[in-house]
Amino acid sequence: MQYVKNEWIKIWSQKNAWIMLVLVLLVVVAVLGLNKYFAPDQSTPELRKEANSEWIAEYQAQLNTPGMYDEDIQLLEEQILMTEYRIANDLPAIDTVTFHDVLAPLLTVILMLVGIFTMVIAASIVSNEFGTGTIKMLLTRPVARWKVLLSKLVATLLYGTAIFTVSVVVALVGSFILFNNAEAITLSVVNGTVVEQIVETHYVQKILLNAASIFMTVLFAFMLGTIFGSSTLAVSLSLGLLFMGTTITMFLARYEFAKYIWFANDLTQFDTGVMPIIADISLNFAIVVNIVYAVIFLVVSFMYFTRRDVTA
């Protein structure tokens, strides 16, 4: 634990660690601010009724358009029926911005940024030591090399967890204060009657799938940082493969071996509404492939680090 604590302190002693945290928070605040600025004001029953009435007028104007298909007419009539239901039940108009409307895409942005920034730390935490020569002093201590490397990996994962937690807390609090936090409800017309349906949210699923994907990316970047003495090279290779990996896999998707490529088994593709890269890959298969690659990344990292000559 002491070595993890030391690595944790070293990470936060770097300016870039704080800069990356501030950047994520600035993005969160900017997204919240822009959504609030452009969101229509529907904070009172009068404003909600006015907004819905404007939508009814818009739908009725479209109904008067000559030459409309029967399907379009039926759709507009259903929209009018649902909007009248909104007025009768004091529901916000269809263009209102709710807590869930903001939080869902904001969570995606946070996960993407946290993944990239944690990967940068993972790629540089070992290579920086070799680049500056401080690794020699670190390895002169009476401790096994694998413990030194493990402490760096754990500290890196803790850093990613920390900036994710802080960012999500800010996003949750900001969204709760600024936007309507009622249950997300969608309306539909069934046999001429308006029916309410609560929209299912999959925040936990999204976080777990993305966390697994980020973990794999961090392990890969950590391996490159362990192998290469240059942090710039390690970070560049990690970012390059991160952004190009999916594209390369799509080009190779027609081949049978493509389903065994790490990028083809990115767990985020199993999130709701996401199209898989290769259609016949199941979640269980992808998990097994990720475990195999994780073991490979870890074995290569620890074997190389424990055998590397640092006397020069």
Q: How far apart are CA 263 and CA 246, in angstroms?
A: 6
| 278-299 per-position pLDDT tens digit | 878 888 999 999 999 999 999 9
- The burial of 25, by beta-carbon neighbours within 10 Å (0-12 exposed, 13-18 middle, 19 or more buried), is given as middle
State whether residue 279 is helix, strand or coil: coil
pLDDT score of 163: 95
Nearest partner of 235 among 20, 2, 4, 12, judged by Cα: 20
Q: Return the percentage of the chain with pLDDT > 90, whole number.
A: 31
Query: Please, which residues bridge with residue 198 across strands?
Result: 185
| 120-164 per-position pLDDT tens digit | 999 888 887 777 767 777 766 777 888 888 999 999 999 999 999
Helices 203-227, 99-124: inter-axial angle, 10-degree rounding: 10
Number of neighbours of residue 295 by Cβ within 10 angstroms: 11
- Alpha-carbon radius of gyration of the chain: 26
Q: How confident is the model at residue 227 (pLDDT cuts 50, 70, 90)?
A: confident
| 246-269 per-position pLDDT tens digit | 788 778 777 788 888 888 888 888
| 199-216 per-position pLDDT tens digit | 777 888 889 998 998 999
Structural contact between residues 201 and 102, judged by C-beta atoms closer than 8 angstroms: no
- pTM exceeding the 0.85 threshold for the entire prediction: no
Q: How confident is the model at residue 183 (pLDDT cuts 50, 70, 90)?
A: low
CB burial of 202-233 (b: ≥16 within 10 Å; e: otherwise) equals: eeeebbebbbbbbbbbbbbbbbbbbbbbebeb
- What mean pLDDT comes out for the span 56-77? 87
| 8-47 per-position pLDDT tens digit | 998 999 899 999 999 999 999 999 999 888 888 887 889 8
Q: What is the mean pLDDT of the chain?
A: 85
* Two structure tokens written together for 210: 């993305």
Q: How far apart are CA 52 and CA 46, in angstroms?
A: 10
pLDDT score of 310: 63
